[in-house]
Every structure is written in C-alpha cells, then in structure tokens.
Structure 1
Amino acid sequence: MRATTPSQRQGSLSRRSIQPPHARPVPSPAAGSGQAWPVLSGLSLLSGLGIGLWLGLAAGLVAGAAVWVAGSLLGRRREDPRDFRDADAVEAATDLAVLAALPELPDGAHAMEQVLRDPASTLAADLRAIHAALLSTHPVGSPLTVAIASAEKGEGRSLLAATLGRLLASEGQRVLLIDADWCRPGQHALFAMKAAPGLAELLSPHPPGVDEVIRTDPVSGLDLIPAGRGRLGARALLSARMKTLLADLSGGYDLLLLDLPPLLDASDAMLVAGMMDRVLYAIRWRHTRRGPTLGALTRLRKARGRVAGIVLTRVGPAEAP
C-alpha cells in the first residue's frame, strides 16, 4: 500500500467534509479537468431549492405555454386566409373593381360630420371617386338609382349610403336616400330624424302623401325616406307599388340611393337590388369572410344585380391598399 502524506490526507478530509449527506460519491476528477463539484441527486435538489420553487417554475412553464398557444391562435385569426387582405385579392376573387377604400373613423356621427366639415378629406375624395365611377357607365342627364348592398351586417353599408348621399347633396346634387333595410333600419338614427312615417307606410294599403314622409337634412339638403314602423319586407319591396314609387321619385332627383338589408339575412333583397340601375357592394376591410361574400355576389348577379364595383370600408391608416 502506498503511504499518504499529511497534505494528501488533509485534502481528502476537506472533500469529504463539503459533501452533503445525500450526495452520491463520485471519483475525483482528473487533474487539470477543472471539474471539482459533486453530482447532486434529485432529492438533494428538492431539499436544497425547496419544493415551492419547483412548483412555481412548473406553473410558469404551463402559463407560458398557454400564452404561446393563445398568441398563435390570435395570429392565425389575423392572418385568416378566408378574409380579404388587400384590394388586389378582392378584385381577383370578385372580378370587380375596387372603387374606393374608405378610412376607419371613430363612429358614424364623426363620419357624417367630416364629409361636410372637411370636404378636402380622404373620405370626401373617395366618395367623389365612387360617384364618378357610377356616372361613367350611365347616360348623362338621366336619373341614377343605386342600391347599397353587403353580404353581412356590420360592413359599413348604411354609413356608406348616408355619407355618400350627404356629401353629394351638399355639393348641389339632388339626392334621395331610402332606408329599405327591413331587418335593422338605421338611417333615421344617423340623421337624427323620426323613424315614421316612412317607406312601410308608403307601401301600405292606405299610404300617406309622399310629402308627409320625405324629410330633409337641414345641413346638406339631402332628402330621406326612413324605413317607417309598419310591416316592411321583401314582398312589399317587390310589389308593383314599389316599382311605381321608385319611378315617380327618381324623376325628381339626380341620384336615388336605396339602403338594403344584408343579403345573407334577407335573400330577397337581391331581387330588389335587381330593380336598380347599379349596385355598390360594401366589403369590410380584413373582416368580411371570403366564402359568404362571394356566395352573395354570385346570387346577386343571378338576380340581375348590376354591380358597379366594390367599396372597401373601415380601412386603417397604415393598411390602405
């Protein structure tokens, strides 16, 4: 047996004295390796760091994973290929021109005021571009009737009709706006007017005089026929009385706008749109679902709706196509 020196015995004692009671003995590292720590067992780690710390770490990992999954799902929704992401995609899918991309505004009241307060705004310029596109395919000097349509609710259809009519009326056009949305009428609220009497009463068996129903916006000069409170539906709007009413009214105006209900909520509205000279089709930017809107457009064309083009609505300032 090889004898040990006092210094070697002291080093051996020092190494034994720092090992915790549950450590597994390991061979001494080779000289010059730089490794001189013991390998601790799982029980030693738990006792040294504490079970609470490990449970906290585990909970943090679970929470982090949940946040990652939620973020992935939200990101996937933002990049949903079913939604229209840009004007080129809309034109390619619909085979129709995008006439304008209307900016996102805080609310309807703000938009109604801006078209009059700031006639040089982007919104006003876009609305004029829409009007020019409508006139480009229509005989000069003859009245123009236009249906404002969309596939689903919440796409900015009614606000498009109201702001377009208000701007053009303020610039000298004779404009009549008719609220024919029998699902959710709202033009009277946008113009802060009474809802009745209106179109429903005009189409009733005992109608009032037209002058009793038409209301004039004192700021712009636009004339409005609200939806009314009587029974209004596709049967009434497709009646001979409605066709006669449109013919009589359009003769006194340069532009007659008809605000329709969402086509997927009231499929007969497509037949009503077919009675008009042109149709403007509203699509909400990065929101409208591709499948439903293309399906509604197909059915609208089969109903002989002459779609003049697409209007993108609620476009963010950094997202303009």
Structure 2
Amino acid sequence: MFKFLKRKKQNSPETRHLITQEDPKSPLAEAYRTIRTSMHYATADDNAKIFMFTSAGPGEGKSTTIANVAVTFAQAGTKTLLIDCDLRKPVQHKIFHISNSKGLTNLLVDKRPLTEVLTLTPNDNLQVLPSGPIPPNPSELLGSRAMQNLLASLKENYDLILIDAPPTIAVTDAPVLAGAVDGIVLILLSKAVKTDLALEAKARLEQANGKIIGAILNGLEMSSQDYSYYYYYGEKES
C-alpha cells in the first residue's frame, strides 16, 4: 500500500539542506520524523534493514528526502548508513558538504577498505558512503556480486542502511537494486510526475522483485500555513 506525506514544496537543488539537522524543531523536520515512524511500523515484523529511495523521474526530491530521513533515524539512536548509489548524478556529498573523491565505486572497483571511504557526520549514529568517482558502467556495478556482498556485510554492522538510487524510468539502476533491498520508498513530485509514469515506475520496481512499502508526495502547494502537512498510511497486507 502506498503512503503519502504532503508538505511544502521542496527547495531547489542549489538550496537543498538538512532541515532536520539545522532546525530539528521545525514542522518540516517533524514531517520527516513521521516518515521515520511510519517506515518503522510498516516493516516492524520483517526485520528489514535496507531501504532504497527512488523516484519516477529526476528532480522529485528523493536525495533531499532520504538525507533528512537518515538524520531523523540517527537522532533517534539508530546506527544508520546512507549510501549514495546514484552513480550518474550523485548529490549526497553536496548535501552533507563532504568529499566525493572516494566512495562506493572505489569499494566495488578498487577494493578499497570501507574505513577509507566512509564519512562521519556531526551525529555519531550516521555515516555517509558517497558515490565516489562516476564509473562508465553504473548498472553493472550496482548489480554485481561485489555489490551484493557489500550489502550483506554492511547489514551486519548497521541497524539501518538507506540507499539513494537514481530515478526509475530514465535508467535501469534502481530496478537492478530493487531485489537486493528490504523495502522501497517511491518519491513523487506533485504536478510534475504524470500518473502513467508513476505507475510505470511502480511496475518496473515490482517486476524486479522490489517491495514498495510506500510513496512520498513532494511539493504540494498548501492553502493554509506554509509548513502544514498531513499524511496517511495504508494497512499492511495480511
């Protein structure tokens, strides 16, 4: 079942920021915490640890959303790893103001040790694995045995792993990863994504054995207060 959260329009890529870290008492930060809570209850019985955030198309706010959700989990005491698996247009290093000279691609291609490419954040419970140098073969790397082994190893060392994946429609990267994660959150931008594209993204992920646990609707224009929002969650299938 899809889950929705409605809130003020996303910031542009140039101004995207970690509202959960910069202003944790704001209504928008609270909105991100509702996502954290709902993800917890949606998978409470599954022992799920690895979640992928993707979108139908570009510019729908997936990277900003997953970064802020990662911060909220860390703030709640969950040992969290955020992996930038968008090996085509990575942005997590920009959001967290960290270097992208080394990262995931170095682990997969050069066999660099994890400690050499991980980045710490101000919150001790959150670490970021940036994408690293952009490779010529993103889909092949993400679908490789090395990637599968890496996720299996990381799962033993973290309470939660969040994966920022590329848009689903444009490239095959997200479907390639879909079967390797425990749950998928689909990000949709209001008034930008067409219904048929959203349904196509959902179908592609499910055809790849992905389990969509919910969707977040970004960028709604609110008629009342700027940061007002509401959300609802569907019942899990029995």
TM-score range, shorter chain: 0.7 to 0.9
Q: Identity, % of aligned pairs? A: 28
SS at 1:257's partner residue? strand
Contact in 2 for aligned 1:271/1:305 (Cα 8 Å): no
Name the CA distance, whole Å, in 2 between partners of 1:162 and 1:284. Answer: 17
Contact in 2 for aligned 1:111/1:163 (Cα 8 Å): no
Q: Which moved more, 1:240-249 or 1:116-125?
A: 116-125
Deviation per residue, 1:27-62 (Å, 9 max, x gap): xxxxxxxxxxxxxxxxxxxxxxxxxxxxxxxxxxxx
| TM score, norm. by length of structure 1 | 0.65
Residue 222 of structure 1 aligns to which amino acid in structure 2? L
- How far does residue 118 in structure 1 lie from its aligned partner after superposition? 3.1
- How far does residue 237 in structure 1 lie from its aligned partner after superposition? 0.9
Indicate whether 1:298 and 2:203 are aligned.
Answer: yes
Name the CA distance, whole Å, in 2 between partners of 1:266 and 1:316. Answer: 29
Residue 53 of structure 2 aligns to which amino acid in structure 1? I
Instruction: Specify the alignment match of 1:98 in structure 2.
Output: 3
RMSD (CA atoms): 2.2
Instruction: Specify the alignment match of 2:235 in structure 1.
Output: none
> Which has the bigger relative contact order, CA under 8 A and spacing at least 6?
2
Name the CA distance, whole Å, in 2 between partners of 1:108 and 1:122. Answer: 21
Contact in 2 for aligned 1:143/1:254 (Cα 8 Å): no
Instruction: Specify the alignment match of 1:26 in structure 2.
Output: none
- How far does residue 250 in structure 1 lie from its aligned partner after superposition? 1.8
Instruction: Specify the alignment match of 1:243 in structure 2.
Output: 148
Contact in 1 for aligned 2:87/2:134 (Cα 8 Å): no
**Runs of 5+ consecutive residues of structure 2 not aligned to the other structure:** 231-238
Name the CA distance, whole Å, in 1 between partners of 2:32 and 2:206. Answer: 24
SS at 1:227's partner residue? coil
Residue 243 of structure 1 aligns to which amino acid in structure 2? Q
Larger radius of gyration: 1
Instruction: Specify the alignment match of 1:215 in structure 2.
Output: 119
Contact in 2 for aligned 1:143/1:253 (Cα 8 Å): no
Instruction: Specify the alignment match of 2:93 in structure 1.
Output: 188
Deviation per residue, 1:148-205 (Å, 9 max, x gap): 011100000111111111222123221100000122111101111111210111100x
Residue 299 of structure 1 aligns to which amino acid in structure 2? R
Which structure has more strand as a fraction of its residues? 2
Contact in 2 for aligned 1:180/1:261 (Cα 8 Å): yes
**Runs of 5+ consecutive residues of structure 1 not aligned to the other structure:** 1-95
Instruction: Specify the alignment match of 2:172 in structure 1.
Output: 267
Q: Which moved more, 1:293-302 or 1:97-106?
A: 97-106
Instruction: Specify the alignment match of 1:25 in structure 2.
Output: none
